[in-house]
Structure 1
Amino acid sequence: MSNRLSFQTKFTYGVGEFGTAIPIGLSIFYLLFFLTEVVGLSPTLAGTVLLLGRVWDAINDPVIGWLSDRTQSRWGRRYPWLVLGAVPLGFFCFMQWIVPPLESQTSLFIYYVLMAMGGYAAFSVVILPMVAIATELTPDYDERTSIMSVRSASDILGSVVGLVLAQIIFALVEDTRRQYMILGGVSGIVIVLAIAICVVGTYDQYRPVLRQQTQASSHSMGFQLRRVFQNRSFRWVMGVYLCSWMGVQVTAAMLPYFVTDWMQLGEQHFTQMAIVVQGSSVSMLPFWLWITKRTSKQMVYFAGAPITLIGVGLLGLVQPGQVAAMYLVGGTIGVGLSTFYLVPFAMLPDVIDDEELRTGERQEGMFISMMVFLQKVGVAIAIFVSGWMLDWANQIGPDTRLLVIRLLASALPSVLIFGGVYCVYRYPLTRKAHHRIRLQLERDRKQPQEH
């Protein structure tokens, strides 16, 4: 199997990631705001919806990852899951943006909990195998970083396109509920088409992988989970991902409130601010990829994280009327943010190689499922706490509410990003260490053939 990935493989893989990023980005930036301001749920109930939906992944993420590793078919371990999960994912992406004809807070709460649980389960069915495919396509250190940069760029572009799409729909449609319903319908259709393109476009390059896949482990899921968490390198990667994205997504969830309540601007400024952040992020990805090839994944994170940290810290100091400063800070945040997209998942294939060397088995599905699960739960907990604090601040008074919004958008993410920097510092798999692992794996794989 060639270690180089073709343009078609990278492009069509990117299309699949692009399609999944649109509804994800819309949920990150709009869902909490939609549930509180459009549906009318209290901030506590809205935060609980997100928390319960993602805690549900405590069950389905590891199960799906484990089953994905054990799946045997003529199309390999991953592709059947993509095909089966595409349509249900599109359906739930649409249904979560509908306001049902229900009157009570309790009935609305139950409806959105069910939609969240269904949506997160369908998302896991698709995204876990999709990320596993990227880790399996090539063993090369730099090519893996390259495909992960494609994944990162597609994620960011998808979220930007989702925001632009939202702005267009909001400008053309007056009724607020209808705006979100149309937005959900369009994102649902896009995600199904994007997954289909990804499956068709990447499968030819994946064929040689089918001949090299090791036999699925016969161990129980509990045993596999324990083994995953025993991997020291994975624990630090998990910490990087969890801290980075908890920080960033708390800021994203608070951004609508920051723009409308604190800055006293219209909703269009929130969308434009988000586009500035994501646009500067995607524009910097080629630069960070270039730096990675000349240094290491750790050094790129050390360079990017402080930039985002400075931007997030300055966000809390921006005053009403300082619109240009707000956008400048948003661009600063985005410059470093692209390293959060790139580095953790670029590290993960190296961790999987390390696990194969230690145990003789590859568990892409289990490792990825735990990364995605912990990120979802961590973000859900952070947003739940944010919703609870907003509810508490509302009861005290408007001045307290504004202070809480600023602290949640700036101070809390800063602390979490510091945690991510520490985890990268402790991560042991350097470029040289991974090279030694690959050489040993190649020798081990040749020995049975020689005998």
Structure 2
Amino acid sequence: MTENEETSRHSFWTNLSYGTYNILWTIPSATINLFYIFYYNKIVGLALWQVLVIVAINTVWAALNDPLIGWITDRNFKWTRKWGRRFPWIAIGFIPLSLSLIMVFSAPDLPKDGDGFLIDPLPAMLWLLLSLFVYDLFITLVDIHVSILRADKFRTETERRKYAGSWGIFDMVAQSVGMILPPLLVVDIFFGELNPLSYTFMAVIMASIMIIFGIIFVLKGAREDKIIIDRYYSRDYEPLRIFKGLWLVLKQKSFIALYAHYTLWLSATTIMTGMVVYLTTYILPGSDMTIFLALFMVGGLVSIPFWLKILKKFKNNKKIYLIGSLILIVLVVTLGFFQTDIDFMILMFIFGFGNGCIWSIGMPVLYSNVQDDFVVRNAKNQKGILVGTWAVIGLITAFIDEGLITLVFWFTGSNIELGIRLLIGIVPALVLLTGTLIFWKLYPLTQEKVMENKAKLLELGF
């Protein structure tokens, strides 16, 4: 028996409502990636190496904490039959997650020396560390269960490709809000562009938006129906032990290949978008960064139907994802050679169009297929430890970003324009090329294997 791959049991509104989660997840990610380095370096007064130390500590903590959260919470509790296995944790975590964004951008205002650096950086470093701990705890708790529920709710390839459209559109909207609105909120309206209170005010507004869309998602999209809940009780099995589970995750080729590519893709795009703040300050002063970021988002938004149509026609997830990644590498290289505002605007739009392939296919389609692969390989409907391990991706990305930015600016010294151009073009292109080669060589899930896994899921009752 196999599920009908040409139909979906979910309505348009189910796809749409589930897509609203991207507002909740992407806004803090985009806001933090865009501003936290600039904020803690130029506003708070920490040196770049001090920020790197904190990010490194947080990455180590997350490497232990995130898989543990997934392992502890991915099991049936006394409330599971009534409320589901995923919904309670999502409902518990989304408001603290929203409030943690305010904490990140509310560092204490401390005395600085003549160069603008803190005389005593320790309190600010501890604040950043605590803020990242809290943020990581709740975004992991929420995202683990949203990611697993996505794979459980949208089971067939048709459902996943259809949902990918809603996912991509809401993700683009969230990226737009997360990248375009914050710069507007920190300009000289209430407190002044370089006033720390401007960043706190910005974070309060963004957190309020997160809470509103979080409520919408929890009321509809995050609910588990009887079909999904019944699968949690369809088969008895011994739960995975945590260290054995970690070993099974790390030796799964499909996970490692996609994890490596997605981490390095996120690193590349985060470096580039983060440099837009520096670019409009040092190379194109007076330029409006919101226009550049908006064109990047519009390019991605209009590309989603194109990439999904190509995917539907060829029905080969790996091949289309790989082609899109190679095209993106070429587009990234060109960004570092801009001369004026106009050509940078054009390049950002084209870059966004190429980026839409990874955006719309990676998480909703390939990542769900990797989760299926894990369940089939181990004959246990217990994916929390895999998704918890995946959750470390954001911290590893931040560490790579901060490390490369620190290294390049140290290498280029006083030639800040050269450093910015390298970090917008050549450096992220090389990062992305590395991830693409790893994915090409290691990712084993052909379309035939994907369909075989779906049939085995039905045999297992999952």
TM-score, normalised via structure 1 length: 0.90
**In the comparison of the two structures, how many residue pairs are matched?**
438
Corresponding residue number in structure 1 for 2:243? 222
Letter in structure 1 aligned against 2:417: L
Q: Distance in 2 between matches of 1:156 and 1:217?
A: 40
1:265 partner SS: coil
2:429 corresponds to which of 414, 434, 446: 414
- Asked if the contact 1:131–1:368 (Cα under 8 Å) also holds between the matched residues in 2, the reply is yes
Letter in structure 1 aligned against 2:326: P
Determine whether 1:433 maps to 2:433. Answer: no
Q: Distance in 1 between matches of 2:76 and 2:205?
A: 32
**CA-atom RMSD, angstroms?**
2.3
Determine whether 1:249 maps to 2:270. Answer: yes
- How far 1:413 moved relative to its partner? 1.0
Corresponding residue number in structure 2 for 1:449? none
Corresponding residue number in structure 1 for 2:201? 182
2:256 corresponds to which of 227, 230, 235: 235
Does the C-alpha gap of structure 1 residues 120 and 205 become closer, same or farther in structure 2, counting only changes over 3 Å? closer
Does the C-alpha gap of structure 1 residues 344 and 216 become closer, same or farther in structure 2, counting only changes over 3 Å? farther
- How far 1:404 moved relative to its partner? 2.2
Q: Distance in 2 between matches of 1:182 and 1:132?
A: 34
Deviates further, 416-425 or 90-99: 416-425
Consecutive unaligned residues of structure 2, counting only runs of 5 or more, are: 112-119
Corresponding residue number in structure 2 for 1:333? 351
Corresponding residue number in structure 1 for 2:337? 317
Corresponding residue number in structure 2 for 1:344? 362
Corresponding residue number in structure 2 for 1:87? 95
Does the C-alpha gap of structure 1 residues 391 and 45 become closer, same or farther in structure 2, counting only changes over 3 Å? farther
Does the C-alpha gap of structure 1 residues 164 and 255 become closer, same or farther in structure 2, counting only changes over 3 Å? closer
Corresponding residue number in structure 1 for 2:116? none
Determine whether 1:141 maps to 2:157. Answer: yes
Corresponding residue number in structure 2 for 1:51? 56
- How far 1:351 moved relative to its partner? 2.1
Q: Distance in 2 between matches of 1:273 and 1:108?
A: 31
Q: Distance in 2 between matches of 1:403 and 1:164?
A: 25
Does the C-alpha gap of structure 1 residues 218 and 306 become closer, same or farther in structure 2, counting only changes over 3 Å? closer
- How far 1:205 moved relative to its partner? 5.6
1:172 partner SS: coil
Corresponding residue number in structure 1 for 2:190? 173
Corresponding residue number in structure 2 for 1:382? 400
Query: 1:170-202 CA distances to partner (integer Å, 9 max, x unpaired)?
Result: 263342323211110112122222222112112
Deviates further, 93-102 or 276-285: 93-102
- How far 1:204 moved relative to its partner? 5.1
Does the C-alpha gap of structure 1 residues 245 and 101 become closer, same or farther in structure 2, counting only changes over 3 Å? closer
- Asked if the contact 1:96–1:115 (Cα under 8 Å) also holds between the matched residues in 2, the reply is yes
Corresponding residue number in structure 1 for 2:21? 16
1:56 partner SS: helix
Q: Distance in 2 between matches of 1:298 and 1:92?
A: 36
- How far 1:216 moved relative to its partner? 6.7
Determine whether 1:308 maps to 2:328. Answer: yes
- Asked if the contact 1:132–1:364 (Cα under 8 Å) also holds between the matched residues in 2, the reply is yes
Q: Distance in 2 between matches of 1:219 and 1:302?
A: 33
Query: 1:322-379 CA distances to partner (integer Å, 9 max, x unpaired)?
Result: 1111111111111111222233322122222222322211333222222221x22331
- How far 1:305 moved relative to its partner? 1.9
Corresponding residue number in structure 2 for 1:200? 219
Q: Distance in 2 between matches of 1:385 and 1:33?
A: 14
1:112 partner SS: helix
Q: Distance in 2 between matches of 1:154 and 1:167?
A: 20
Consecutive unaligned residues of structure 1, counting only runs of 5 or more, are: 447-451
- How far 1:19 moved relative to its partner? 2.3
Query: 1:88-145 CA distances to partner (integer Å, 9 max, x unpaired)?
Result: 1122111111242433322111111111111111111111111111111032012123
1:193 partner SS: helix
What is the percentage of aligned positions where both structures have the same residue?
21
Q: Distance in 1 between matches of 2:402 and 2:237?
A: 38
TM-score, normalised via structure 2 length: 0.88
- How far 1:276 moved relative to its partner? 1.4
Does the C-alpha gap of structure 1 residues 64 and 42 become closer, same or farther in structure 2, counting only changes over 3 Å? same
- Asked if the contact 1:12–1:201 (Cα under 8 Å) also holds between the matched residues in 2, the reply is yes
